[in-house]
Structure 1
């Protein structure tokens, strides 16, 4: 029996400034229609193949919900696709809400509903001999050529009850690259290697160890952040000559805010965060390693 492989993709919706989702998930009927439109948009890459299935979760997620270790949303869609009845023809599996609730594991988190960028995850599945070349073409071309059709964008705008500025198809790797760029633009570039390690090499360790940034050690899905008092924090900071006490206090407060920002971001990406008190700056790295 041919090996089945899976290719993870996204329908990315960029909302108009100041707009939010009126409806984070679609019912089964609307999910089916969105799936049909997505299949039509993917036709230039899938062609007339009858051995590649498309599976879609018709809910709009924050990117942090998608970019988590193990890719839980895509993995759950793939699992449900595997369990669905088999067919000699291509299948279109559209997962929608029932009585306002998506299937378990596919419900958007209400704490992340107000971001301007929403991702609808889909999965292609099929034999490696068929899907492999398609996947390669999509990785090479989708970012440049993947604007969603006008019908798809208009339907998504109406179905999710919002205003959409852009709608495009992306591979999951395209989405990762987009978020890396966005984090860089928002002053979070030093944090990205921690997230990238957690996503692609969860068995590895990673450090954020570059003052004036907080000291963070990532291992086994847990980010350990060094909790320092003001004196020990100052010992790790460069260029404090000429800084008076009031300025030093303000900088330390900003440092604590940065710690909380980083902790919230890593938590949103599905990582466990622990603050480890470090009584001495010289041994902080040893403490974080446990």
Structure 2
């Protein structure tokens, strides 16, 4: 993916730096625990050198660009956050390094088990089958564009990591790696969208995509029987209906004048509330702030979300 920070969908002007955003994706075997979440500086540098060689083997022009990465691995939700926050953090930390960036490798490692800035992986998301080592390629805009275009077209098909890279990642992190390959940020987003579709969350993806690509944009989820929410101003506002308002919107014709009818209605309401909690948890995992907004009966349900 070629992108300008912070809006990855925008085409930058001459003064804005272009970047190729991607990750080394480590597909793990079984449910083996995470042995090490981060590497010391020397180990991070060795892994980065392997990654640089791999990327240049796919597109030789990549060797002309600055590679910035970190000796740590993350869950996909930690990379897919508004404005590509983790990649942006790498880029901003690298910007402090003096000297010519052309062809340079910058790898951030842990000092006394602490990574710089906001690079620490969250232990809340350990245990997933896919772990990601993010990278940013930057430099001359024309070179970045060429490399980024090639990566977008080809990396998903032929981006297997070299054997030395896969072995280095496995040994240094203490992981059981089944496959190691490279993905662009767009590849990762597309894979996640497909996974969410299979998990019954397809209608939520446009909201997440807006937060990711256009954090200052707006998106709605307004498709009963799904919860109602609006993403705007960097947060998701979810309508919290009082019982009468919920029935008015979602169960208008449901009978409630018998014990059986009331019991069925209560089960439907509980299912709806569980769905709200699920959606709120997914949004929060992607770093989207979530606020619940009370909605009363006999009002336009969307109106409180616009305040």
With structure 1 as the length reference, what TM-score do the two structures score?
0.93
Alignment of 1:242-253 (within 5 A): 244-253=261-270
How many residues were matched structurally? 290
| Deviation string, structure 1 residues 76-98 (Cα, Å, up to 9, x no partner) | 21122222132375111111111
Aligned pair partner of 2:165 in 136, 148, 152: 152
Output one character per residue of 1:47-100: Cα deviation in whole Å (capped at 9) or x when no partner. 166531111111111111111112121112112222213237511111111111
Which aligned runs of 4 or more in structure 1 are off by greater than 6 angstroms? none
Q: Are 1:289 and 2:302 matched, yes or no?
A: no
Aligned with 2:40 (options 27, 51, 70): 27
State the SS of the aligned residue for 1:247: helix
- Cα distance in 1, alignment partners of residues 156 and 63 from structure 2: 25
Give the SS at the match of 1:61. Answer: coil
Give the superposition deviation at 1:120. Answer: 1.0
State the Cα deviation string for residues 4-45 of structure 1 (Å, max 9, x = none): 532111111122232232111111111011111111211223
Structure 2 residue 300 is the aligned partner of structure 1 residue 279: no
Q: 1:280 to 1:109 in 2, by over 3 A?
A: same
- Judged with a 3 Å threshold, the aligned counterparts in structure 2 of structure 1 residues 189 and 50 are, in CA distance, closer, same or farther, namely closer
1:231 aligns with 2:244: yes
Against the structure 1 CA distance between its residues 38 and 241, is the aligned structure 2 distance closer, same or farther, given a 3 Å change threshold?
same
- Unpaired segments ≥5 residues, structure 1: none
User: Is 1:217 aligned with 2:234?
Assistant: no
CA distance in 1, matches of 2:101, 2:294: 59
Of the structure 1 ranges 159-168 and 48-57, higher mean CA displacement relative to structure 2 is found in 48-57
SS of the counterpart of 2:73? Answer: coil
Match 1:256 to one of 273, 298, 303:
273
Please tell me whether the aligned partners of residues 54 and 91 of structure 1 are also in contact (alpha carbons under 8 angstroms): yes
Q: Structure 1 stretch 3-12 or stretch 122-131: which is displaced more?
A: 3-12
Q: Which residue of 1 aligns with 2:93?
A: 80
CA shift for structure 1 position 114: 2.4
Q: Matches of residues 57-96 of structure 1 in structure 2 within 5 Å?
A: 57-87=70-100, 90-96=103-109
Asked if the contact 1:2–1:128 (Cα under 8 Å) also holds between the matched residues in 2, the reply is no
2:189 counterpart (170, 176, 194): 176
CA distance in structure 2 between the partners assigned to 1:4 and 1:255 by the alignment:
45
Q: Helix, strand or coil: the match of 1:83?
A: coil
For residues 11-26 of structure 1, the aligned pairs below 5 Å read 11-26=24-39
Once residues 138 and 268 of structure 2 are traced to their aligned partners in structure 1, the CA distance between those partners, rounded to angstroms, is: 51
Farther off after superposition, 237-246 or 91-100: 237-246
Gapped regions of structure 2 (runs ≥ 5): 1-13
Q: Secondary structure at the match of 1:54?
A: strand
Q: Where does 1:121-200 land on structure 2 (aligned, <5 Å)?
A: 121-200=134-213
State the SS of the aligned residue for 2:151.
helix
Q: Does the 8 Å contact 1:20/1:116 carry over to 2?
A: no
Partners in 2 of 1:283 and 1:3 — Cα distance?
A: 42
Aligned equivalents of 1:88, 1:64: Cα separation in 2: 29
Residues 244-285 of structure 1: CA deviation (Å, up to 9, x unaligned): 322221121111111111111111111111111111164221
Kept in 2, the 8 Å contact 1:20–1:115? The answer is no
